[in-house]
Every structure is written in structure tokens, then in C-alpha cells.
Amino acid sequence: MSLPPDRAAHPALPMRLLRSPLGRIVAFVVTLTVLGFIAGHIYAGVGLPRGRLPFDQVTPLIEAFRLLPVVLAYWMLVRTIEERRIDELAPRKAIPHLALGLLGGALLFSLVVGALYALGAFVVDGVNHDVAWLGPILVTGVGAGVGEEIISRGVLFRIVEEGLGTWVSLLVSAAFFGGAHAWNPGATAWSAIAIALEAGLLFGLLYNLTRSLWLCMGVHAAWNIAQGPFYGIPVSGFQQRGLLASHMQGPDWLTGGSFGAEASVVALCICSIATAVCLAVAIRRGTLVPPPWRRRAPPSVV
């Protein structure tokens, strides 16, 4: 039996609270925690190795256990609470948006490396012919690209933007993204700020412009894969053995120190230019969502 029109249009208070921006974020966190607990027990039960593993020891099955709770929690949020299709992960967008994102992410980081090379900070010593590609790509590419983008852009940026507008959402999601990297090896207050400004703001605006998580995932994954498995530069503090045997020389503000090139002023400047371009396009297209106090109320029905 269907609900009366007035009850369907005006759900009960608990459901309205659950569907509010804060309610949905809390629901996602709770669901992710529960699913992570279940996956952890299954993971241990099938005898997979526990603890932090070297990247080259990570297998597709191990990475699947890490990502499945995030993917399922997001699916449950969108399908059962928001009651809509997951348009930001529509299958029709997957191939073209992933391809564009992978190309853009690889090009963007290559610009950073090119600038560091021109400044004498990035030095190539040779080529490693025995690189273990699979594990690092799974962790730095697939794991970071999918998991971090679902949480940071799919949940936090998208929902905060809906509630408080794009500007607040950019600040909140960027601060969260930078803070999430603050406990990585070699991290400093500066590296967290740099990550927030160069990646948090850029990825948020990319999502605002495209409404596609596929694109954000592609850029994020390609940036990390180019940085670590290809150029041999630490990825957010995690040391890498890349195709290129390389090292950095010069002051930490230029090279990024042990954290990697993401903490370099060169990466910050280049990504800030890309962010400014995206912002200009967003303003021109009118995709920035205003805060609630500046939104026009829908016309009343007489």
C-alpha cells in the first residue's frame, strides 16, 4: 500500500534527520565502520597477512578487502538513504572519464617533475629493470584513487556542498584531505597544508565541474602512479622503487624532503595554476553552489 501524498512528501523526523547532510555523513561513517569490522574478520579468517605490508606484497585480493567496505558503504548511502542512481559513477562515464583523468594526472605530475628537473632538484641515476609494478599500482593507484576519492569527494565534498555551498565544501574537504595525510611517514604541518591546497582544492573543483568520481579517481591514481612506480619519488611519505632510479637534491622546500614532491613549492604552484583554471571555468559555467542563505526559494504553489 502506498503512502498518502502528504506523508510521502513530508517524511517523519528521523528520516529527515538521516537524509540531512550531517545525517548522511554520519550514516556513511557508521556503515563504513561496521563493514570494515566485518571485512577485517573475514580477512583474518581466510588467513591473509595482517598489519602494514610493503607495497610490493599487496595482492588484488588484499586490496579488494581494503576497498570493498568503502564501495559498499557508498552504494548503501546513495541507494538506500538518498534513494537515487549513482550518477557520479555511471558506467557510461567510466571509460572516457577514467582515460581523461589518467592522462591528466600523469601529465600534471610530469609537469612537476619537469620543473624540478629543470631546477636541478630531480636527478635520474638510471633505470630499474626489476620493478614490482602490481602492488604499488594497487595501493597508490587503485586504493588511493578509489577509496580516498569516494570519501573525500563522493561523501564529504558532495554532501557539504549540497548543505553549505561550494566554497565551504572546498575548505572542509581540502582540510580533511590534508589532515588525512598528516600521519604519513615524513609528514609535517607544511606537507599537510600543501596536500590540502594542491590536491584537495583541485580535486574538489574537478568534481564540481564534472560531477564525476571517475575523473577524480583517474587523476588521483595517475598522479600517484607517475610519482612512485614510474619516477621513483616517495608518494605522500612512502618510499618507492620506480622505473627511474632517481633522487632529489636541494632544500626541502624545493624537493619536498622525505615526504616527496607533493610537499614541494613547485607542485603547489603548478597545481594552484590548474586549480585557478578550474575555478575560472566553474565561475563561467555557473557550477558553484551558493550557500543556503543566498539560494532562491522555490516559487510557492498557489
76 pLDDT above the threshold of 70: yes
* Band of pLDDT at residue 294, cut at 50, 70 and 90: confident
Q: Is residue 76 part of a domain?
A: no
Average pLDDT, the chain: 93
pLDDT tens-digit profile of 203-223?
A: 999 999 999 999 999 999 999
* Band of pLDDT at residue 4, cut at 50, 70 and 90: very low
Domain that holds residue 280: 91-291
Q: Is residue 26 part of a domain?
A: no
* Band of pLDDT at residue 1, cut at 50, 70 and 90: very low
Overall average pLDDT of the 120-128 stretch: 96
* Band of pLDDT at residue 296, cut at 50, 70 and 90: confident
Overall average pLDDT of the 259-263 stretch: 96
pLDDT tens-digit profile of 226-259?
A: 999 999 999 999 999 999 999 999 999 999 999 9
What's the total number of domains in the chain? 1
Question: What sign results for the dihedral spanned by CA atoms 272, 275, 280, 283?
Answer: negative
* Band of pLDDT at residue 14, cut at 50, 70 and 90: confident
**Entry pTM:** 0.92
Q: Is residue 158 part of a domain?
A: yes
Q: Is residue 211 part of a domain?
A: yes
Q: Is residue 29 part of a domain?
A: no
Q: Is residue 199 part of a domain?
A: yes
pLDDT tens-digit profile of 177-191?
A: 999 999 999 999 999
2 pLDDT above the threshold of 60: no
Q: Is residue 153 part of a domain?
A: yes
Q: Is residue 126 part of a domain?
A: yes
